[in-house]
Structure 1
């Protein structure tokens, strides 16, 4: 609980914080504050405001109460009484605003010491939240999170298959994503994914069914994708159950589905959403092999006046799918998402993993595709497991699109809208140079994104060129 006192006579504000309902004797804030010179004779408005700095979290005001001491005017009180009246009437609500900001700062400092920083947040009270699952139901549905129920694992945590009660009491199979521990990064990914994916509605996005936060465990519940992730089909691992090679029609449909999801995130949703982790293991396949883009733990929704997002904790993502300019700016943009999509497209067509051999964003697969394109034999890059059973015109279209999206300079990459038009045959394949262009820094600016690719200071505005073949 929070108590805020403002004394209009002494011109001081005091704030008290306690976990229970007992007001402590020592304030956490005791500072001079003179509001009479600013608010005297003006209309004041009451409200709440807070900031958590570079971090983010859900904060709910569960209840508030304001008490104003009414003081009678008298000729003997003079300006002292008048000032106190004004201070009590308009100073208290304004001081509460300051106290809320203080509490947000205290909460962030205390966050690293808590078992789980979201324990103080009633997520179920947030409008539009999906179903809240009971931990015991998910524990029972995963057979106590049995290793045999595991569907996948990554830096975020583990995904399990589970059976839970659905509508009408009928059982349904779901995927339960358990975040690694209760550390700060796990909490951030949990809150980011929950807040973003919960608001998105698109046929090519994995559907969020519900969530659970009990016993210090963070869980998200998704629709189960019967055909697993795309990488399991493109790059089968030893020990996996044998699966049929994806047909050409299935591959093209997957690429078009991911492009549709990307276009929705970048252009059709209320805010620009940057996924920041485009790769085959984050693309799920439903029963009809339709693509569903998932794993929004690294995704960020941008404010209306922003075109990029900078993670101060470092550069997230996977080598081979990270655009080269990100290593200079540390910023994620729509163009960097498109670069990751281009790497995925090449993997879909070629059936080979985009293993990165250089930290500047190139890969062996990408280099070989450029070489074959320059030699006029681009179709030789198509997955040999297809045994020639593919549409040559569509294969060339996809390969050229993959190269265009992988252009070293962000301003030359097609936007998601153009990508979708190319894949739906509403636009011709992109024009691609015969050889891989050199990476130049600072990059050519994208119209409207002038602030994205500046190098920081004029003293460092030299141009960096990287050979088209990094060997």
Structure 2
């Protein structure tokens, strides 16, 4: 079989390898991203303690609410906000040693004070065994400890403090520093920030700072970078600390933030954005499974290399015999036959007859890969009991593939795979390799219709009525809102790929979508970047338009229509 069609084995092995690698990657990595914080959507993903809350699309670790005229600058307040689930920081503990997880996190902070406030006390990025906050952890304790627990090994926390109040009794360097803390507010290492042109709590208006905290579980090195928001990550870290987290943390611990105010020191301690990725090693019970997966991946790689060598020899020989075009045709046909429920193949002469020999009067339009023609297809249906055969006529749209577009074969195959699986009352069904009309006016009208339903609070009415009530309403609502967000006329406003994946998987809530469809506006042409963005957007739109026109790609061979 390999000699006849080696591509079949390659396709199977690549699919198997992809599935194994995807399983290993997704199970072994955990991540989340918050571009902003919304009360209803994000409260279930975060744990709030003390005086913390969400307000103005930010995490408020110390009070800032509209409910009380004085609470927004409350004295002697403290709060914690932690991600809702813990992460495993190492595996193994016996004679074979242990493996530490690595993580990278990025967040944006703003420590605001009015001109007549005495700034204090600060906030901290925190890894702790739980979300609970100690009693009386206000003032110098930053929501981390209190007078009776400070320094205790039972605390099991590691923190990066952003301190805005000098405490002489714990030997703070000044009123503006970051520190590396273990189980105590007394920093193991503290770095003044004035020389880096960083002021944590400046006179109004406040300043947003982006912070990166990177930990390498192999080298046990933790590094902290900080810069004004909008600037690139610096080349050199502010803090470099070697620490074995296993010595201090619980095996399963939480990520989050803590902060406090004092008396008379007050400020607003806010987190505006937060993303995190951790290489979360599998547990001991599943080690055998991962060894099997690793072995399977290695065997697959070896087999693929071997098959590619064989295919290379076959390809060279066939190329020398001037059969490369027939080989490509065979491969294209093979791929199509793997599509679940693939419709029948039509003879070229059948479609030629249906379109009056592709007459100019039957031309519907011209899109990607070729010209679209109107056709009338005669279908013979034989009765189930073997009786009379009836002939029916069906109007179709036929796309005649242009040999000049042979370089676009892979794009067309990918597009055909997608449209073959689409089912919707407003979309024409694919009836043969491969036919479909997803015309622009159909798409644009359909999106506007969903926007109208969303505006009226009836977005679930966009679900296919054939489903009745047999679907999960929350999931349908999530995907419809995501679809509207992805249809934003300005590409830079659409969700990023990483965010889309997290929304679809349920890690993040659905996006916030305004009730009215945003209007398209041309980006500014005043700079090179904006001009490039405009051209990129226009090019992307042109490609989308061409692909929505794709109906049937035809290639004439000796006896059949091939894709």
Which structure ranks higher in relative contact order (CA pairs < 8 Å, sequence separation ≥ 6)?
2
Structure 2 length as normaliser, TM-score? 0.27
Structure 1 length as normaliser, TM-score? 0.31
Structure with higher Rg: it is: 2
Higher strand share: 2
